[in-house]
Amino acid sequence: MTGLRGKTVLVTGASRGIGAAIARQTADAGASLILHATAEGPAIEDVALERKIPRSRLIFEDLSAPEAGFRLFEKALAAAPRIDAVVNNAGIYVSSGLTAPRAEWRDAWSKTNAVNVQAPADISCAAIAHFRAAGGGVVVNIASRAGHRGDAIDGAAYAASKGAILAMTKTFARALAAENILFYAVAPGWVETRMAPKDVEARRKAVADIPLGRVATPEEVAAMTVFLLSGACASATGATFDINGASYVR
């Protein structure tokens, strides 16, 4: 697939799981990549080596820190004078149990919001300014099924953050489509990553709730993301694409 040849794409959280799969498939589609990870390490280096991405195009930022999203995009622009698309994939899950001590409760919500909402919002803000000067661009936000249907009781902060991403995507899509700035969301259910349930009983319950009979693969999420990045269906801007094996059908 070569639908992204000549395009430069920034992918956050690209060291493993969905982000790494998106990086690989985006590179295979012909794109030039800028990859983000929280810190240096063998995982992101392996992805870069596999797809021959120069080290100058690896960016390291802890997205829980203030202004990290803006710094990340500034570093991306220093690595490549033009960015055509962004994939906001980086995210965290921090348990926000109702019975946790108040300090832990507040910290869970604060950190989740910083990484899952504020950072992608700041990256989007910076990208929009760049896209306006460049004549357009694409943002794909990786959200979650939890943003629609909610999550387990300890996942309230995570679900709320992904619901915010869905609302942000729709808002920017409606406001910016006339400027050729397109926003999409992808909302996976369980995906075969570190966040998928490993406990045998938890795994059985998760799969039993999926009519397709299995959790999704990172490659499936990546395939949808690459399609959206390609611009093959610009009229879908503002839409959310569910990848959950029919476990939540809207």
CB-CB contact of 131 with 181 (8 Å): yes
For residue 3, is it within any domain?
A: no
pLDDT tier, 196 (very low <50, low <70, confident <90, very high otherwise):
low
**Cβ neighbours for 158, distance < 8 A, ≥ 6 positions apart:** 93, 94, 96, 112, 116, 144, 146, 151
Please calculate the CA angle 46-49-50 and round it to the nearest 5 degrees.
Answer: 85
The phi-psi region of residue 248 (left if phi > 0; otherwise alpha if psi is between -120 and 50; otherwise beta) is beta
Residue 1, pLDDT score:
44
Residue 195, pLDDT score:
59
For residue 162, is it within any domain?
A: yes
Residue 198, pLDDT score:
55
Query: What 8-state DSSP symbol labels residue 104?
Result: H
For residue 204, is it within any domain?
A: yes
Query: What 8-state DSSP symbol labels residue 233?
Result: T
Please calculate the CA angle 234-239-244 and round it to the nearest 5 degrees.
Answer: 125
Query: 174 pLDDT exceeds 70?
Result: yes
pTM of this prediction? Answer: 0.95
Residue 82, pLDDT score:
97
Query: 197 pLDDT exceeds 60?
Result: no
For residue 247, is it within any domain?
A: no
Q: pLDDT tens for residues 127-169?
A: 999 999 999 999 999 999 999 999 999 999 999 999 999 999 9
Q: pLDDT tens for residues 36-72?
A: 999 999 999 999 999 999 999 999 999 999 999 999 9
Query: 2 pLDDT exceeds 60?
Result: no
Q: pLDDT tens for residues 64-110?
A: 999 999 999 999 999 999 999 999 999 999 999 999 999 999 999 99
Of the ranges 13-27, 82-96, 206-220, which one carries the lowest mean pLDDT score? 206-220
Residue 159, pLDDT score:
98
For residue 249, is it within any domain?
A: no
For residue 118, is it within any domain?
A: yes
Query: 201 pLDDT exceeds 60?
Result: no
248 is catalytic: no
Query: 200 pLDDT exceeds 70?
Result: no
Range of the domain at 14: 8-242
Question: 105 is written with which tokens?
Answer: 């409760």
Q: In the block, which residue shows the tokens 């108040």?
A: 102
pLDDT tier, 204 (very low <50, low <70, confident <90, very high otherwise):
confident
For residue 166, is it within any domain?
A: yes
For residue 238, is it within any domain?
A: yes
Q: How many structural domains does the chain have?
A: 1
Residue 199, pLDDT score:
52
* CATH number of the domain residue 234 falls in: 3.40.50.720
Query: 194 pLDDT exceeds 80?
Result: no
Of the ranges 2-6, 83-87, 166-170, 234-238, which one carries the lowest mean pLDDT score? 2-6
